[in-house]
Amino acid sequence: MPWKSRKKRFWPCCRQIENDQYSPIPLLSTGIVTLDFALILVVATFLTGIIWLFDIVLLQRSRRLRAAGGQAVSEPVVVEYAKSFFPILLLVLVLRSFVFEPFRIPSGSMMPTLLEGDFIFVNKFAYGLRLPVINSKIVEIGEPERGDVVVFKLPSDPAINYIKRVVGLPGDVVNYDQGSKRLTINDEHVPLELLGAFDGDPGIDLAREELGDGDHMILLTRGRLSLGGTYRVPGGHYFVMGDNRDNSRDSRFQGVEFIPEHRLVGRAVRIWMNWRRPAQGGPRWSRIGKSIE
C-alpha cells in the first residue's frame, strides 16, 4: 500500500517527526535534503571551544604584552564570536542531548493523543543517557514500559524520527485482530471500551484502551481494515502502534517492524505549544501544557 512520505523540516527550535499516515490513494513522495542537527551542534560547539581555548593559551598573553608596550590591541573578531557563542552552544548541546529535545507533530497518526501542529518535549534520559551523534549509551536509567509514547529512529532509515505507543515488550506475543480491532498480549485481551463517535464523525469511534498501569484514548475507523496478525517481539526490541489505529504506519508494517532498543530517542512527556496557520483555524491554546499519557 502506498504511503505519504515527507522528509522532516527543521523549525528554528525543534525537529519534525515523520508524517506517517497512510492513504489508499497513491501519492508521490517528496524529499527535502536534511542535515543532522546534532552533528552540526557538536561540531559548532567543538570549534568555538577550541578557538576560545587557543586564544587563552596562546593569544591573550601576546595581546597583554603589546598593550603593556603602549600598542592599541583589540580582540580578534573570530575569538569574540567564539567566546559569545560557546557557552550558549554548550548549554543547548547538553540540554538537547541529555535532558529534553523538542519535536513537532506533522500528522494525525497518534490522534487523539497528539494532534497535527503539536510541539512536544521528549525526555532524553528516560531510557538512559546517550552520547550525541554516535548514540552510544553511557548511563543505564530505565526501560520503556507498556503504554509509553516514544520517539524512535526508523530502523529502515535512522535519519527519520517516528512517534508511537509501546504495545509489546521484549518477549511478548502481540496479536491484533483487524476485524474486531482488538489487541491481545500474551494471550490476554487488552481492555477496550467504545465511547461513541469521535468529534461528531459517525465513521470514527473513540475508544479507551488500557495498557500497562494506565489507559489512553484511541481512534478506530469503521469500515477500514488495517494490517493485523500475530507478532513475537524479539529480545532487545519493542512493538509499537499509533493511537489512530487505522491510519498509522507502525510495527505491523515493513520498514518499521520491531524497534531495537538503541533506536529509541526518548519518551514524549508534554505538549508545550500547538500551532496551525490561521487558515487552518489557528493555534489550539487548550493544548499547551498538556501531559502526554
Main-chain phi, psi angles of 275, to 5 degrees:
-135, 125
Give this prediction's pTM: 0.81
Catalytically active residues are 109, 164
**Predicted local distance difference test score (pLDDT) of residue 97:** 87
Torsion of CA 127, 133, 135, 138, to 10 degrees: -80
Whether 275 and 119 have beta carbons less than 8 Å apart is answered as: yes
**Predicted local distance difference test score (pLDDT) of residue 20:** 67
| Beta bridge mates, 129 | 139
- At 193 the three-state DSSP class reads strand
Whether 212 and 222 have beta carbons less than 8 Å apart is answered as: no
**Predicted local distance difference test score (pLDDT) of residue 7:** 36
Q: How many other CB atoms are found less than 10 A from the CB of residue 79?
A: 18
What class is the 100-287 domain?
mainly beta
Low-confidence ranges of the chain (pLDDT < 50): 1-12, 22-35
Q: Rounded to an integer, what is the distance from CA 225 to the centroid of its chain?
A: 27
**Predicted local distance difference test score (pLDDT) of residue 19:** 58
Task: Give the Å distances, CA to CA, from 164 to 32, 45, 230, 277.
Answer: 23, 32, 19, 25
Domain spans of the chain, in order of start: 38-96, 100-287
**Predicted local distance difference test score (pLDDT) of residue 4:** 34
Q: What angle (nearest 5°) sits at the alpha carbon of residue 247, between those of residues 126 and 267?
A: 5
Q: Rounded to an integer, what is the distance from CA 223 to the centroid of its chain?
A: 30
Residue 237 to residue 220: CA distance in whole angstroms: 26
